[in-house]
Amino acid sequence: MNIINNFNFKNYMMKITMNKRKNYLGSMKIKFLTFLFFSPVFFYCQSFSLNDFFDYSPVLQKEVDRVFDSMNDTSRVGQLIVPAVGRLGKPDKHVIDLCEKGKIGGVLLLNGTVESFTNYVHLFDSISKANGFPSPIYSADAEPTLIKYKIKGSTPVPKTNAIKTIQEVESVAQQISDDLNAIGITQNFAPVIDASPNEVVSNRSFGLNMDTVIDFSNAFIDVTQSYGIIATAKHFPGHGFVSGDTHKKLVYIDGKMKEVENYLPIIANDVLSVMVAHIAIKNNDHFSTDNLPATCSRKIVTDLLKDSLGFNGLVVTDALNMGGVVNVPNCGLKAIKAGCDMLLMPVDEEKDINDILSAIQNDIELKLDVYSSVKKVIRLKLCLGIL
């Protein structure tokens, strides 16, 4: 399928999304919301949910602007930074210092226990509140295959490749989401929508039949987001058919990107976040990345994911300390210039913030892009109910 020129398919998916929303709201709900909107009380008691993120709402936009206008550029850019805590994360003192300065927008809870992660949520929420900054978005790699390693003490669930029916997907997603809600985790870096042949993906995938992968992934996303948790489709533009491990080195898609099409129905199903992988593309007339990982390529993040596929949600990088990207000079700034909205696990958060602040002083287009990313993060936090 030609992604760029296939406007008919894209329009078809947009119609499905619109019909889904219309059916969900129903005529009585529309009338009720109309009544509320024109009631003076509405402007004082309105709350939002993740269902509101993609919808036009003057009230929500006004609140986003209010929060944004209350911040300076340093705390704004800080909203794009996601360090990690836990066994494989940064020292607690380091992340606490960033939090006290308003230089984090999220925290990845990486390899710990239910108890320790719950304590982290309480700690960083209290620090943010005491210093007048927005609370972080708390994320975890709570894939069915990985959760027992990433969050010890969580409810046992089968590995992703052992799940065989939609009903099992929904049940597993419910159990995982219950655990995440109890801890206070508001973003799950799941599901993996890659095909299974890659050795790193393997049992983290729903399999090789892409119709099944898409259907199961959408079911996982539906349940996750119904629990008030941001679901994240990964690893764009597709990790299933590459050879190698991006944790260790830059790997390549040679020629056609076979898995990009799988994101169309995922995006049409209103997934709120997409994670971009440290995968380079070569021998592709439109999307070769000149030996840069996709995370640092505007062709992939903006031209393909945002513009051609029409994704308007949160774009987050894979971890920036991985071998596939860590040796790229100024990789954090390059990822922001590419169109990523949040930087996951930067090696040097302060440097990335300063690089971005310096760059936006002399580049008005980049400044507007950065501001758009910041407002996207704020909008998600409002829809999560954490502001």
Q: In whole angstroms, what is the distance from residue 133 CA to residue 128 CA?
A: 5
Distance CA 7, CA 310 (A): 11
CA distance 78 to 9: 38
Which position has the token pair 């790229």?
328
Give the dihedral of Cα atoms 44, 32, 226, 120; nearest 10 deg: 10
Q: Within a 10 A sphere around the Cβ of 362, how many other Cβ atoms?
A: 8
d(CA 181, CA 185): 6
Burial class (CB in 10 A: 0-12, 13-18, 19+), 28: exposed
CA dihedral 288, 292, 293, 296 (to 10 degrees): -100
Placement of tokens 């927005």 in the chain? 134
In single-letter form, the type of residue at position 32 comes to: F
d(C-alpha 243, C-alpha 53), whole Å: 36
Q: Which residues are catalytic?
A: 318
Sequence-ordered list of residues with C-beta below 8 angstroms from that of 267, at least 6 positions apart, any chain? 13, 274, 309, 310, 311, 313
Closest CA to 342 of 252, 249, 261, 275: 275
